[in-house]
Amino acid sequence: MRIFIIGSGVVGTATGRGFIEAGHRVTFVDVSPQRVEDLTARGLDARARIDLATEEAAYIFLTLPTPNDGTRYDLTAFLEGTRAVGRALREADAVHTVVVRSTVTPGTTEGLVGPVLERESGLRQDEGFLLASNPEFLRAASAVADFRWPRMTVVGARNRRVRERLVELFTPFGGELRVFAEPMTAEFIKCAHNIFNATKISFWNEMHAVAQRAGLDLAEIAETVARSAEASFNPTYGIRGGAPYGGACLPKDTKAFLGFADTLDIDMPLLRAVVEVNDRLVGSPSAVPVPAALVPAAMTGPPRIEIPEQPTGDRVPARAAESPVR
Question: In the chain, where are the structural domains located?
Answer: 2-190, 229-326
> Can you tell me the mean pLDDT for 26-37?
98
- Distance (Å, rounded) from C-alpha 82 to C-alpha 19? 21
- Distance (Å, rounded) from C-alpha 198 to C-alpha 280? 23
- Distance (Å, rounded) from C-alpha 212 to C-alpha 215? 5
Give all strands (DSSP E) within 157-194, no chain letters.
Answer: 176-180
Whats the size of the chain, residue-wise?
326
pLDDT digit string, tens, across residues 177-236: 999 999 999 999 999 999 999 999 999 999 999 999 999 999 999 999 999 999 999 999
Q: Is the pLDDT of residue 313 over 80?
A: no
- Distance (Å, rounded) from C-alpha 36 to C-alpha 40? 6
Contact 324, 176 (CB under 8 A): no
Please tell me the pTM assigned to this model: 0.86
> Can you tell me the mean pLDDT for 43-66?
98
Contact 287, 319 (CB under 8 A): no
Contact 151, 176 (CB under 8 A): yes
Q: Has domain 2-190 been given CATH number 3.40.50.720? A: yes
- Distance (Å, rounded) from C-alpha 180 to C-alpha 186? 7
Predicted pLDDT of residue 283:
77
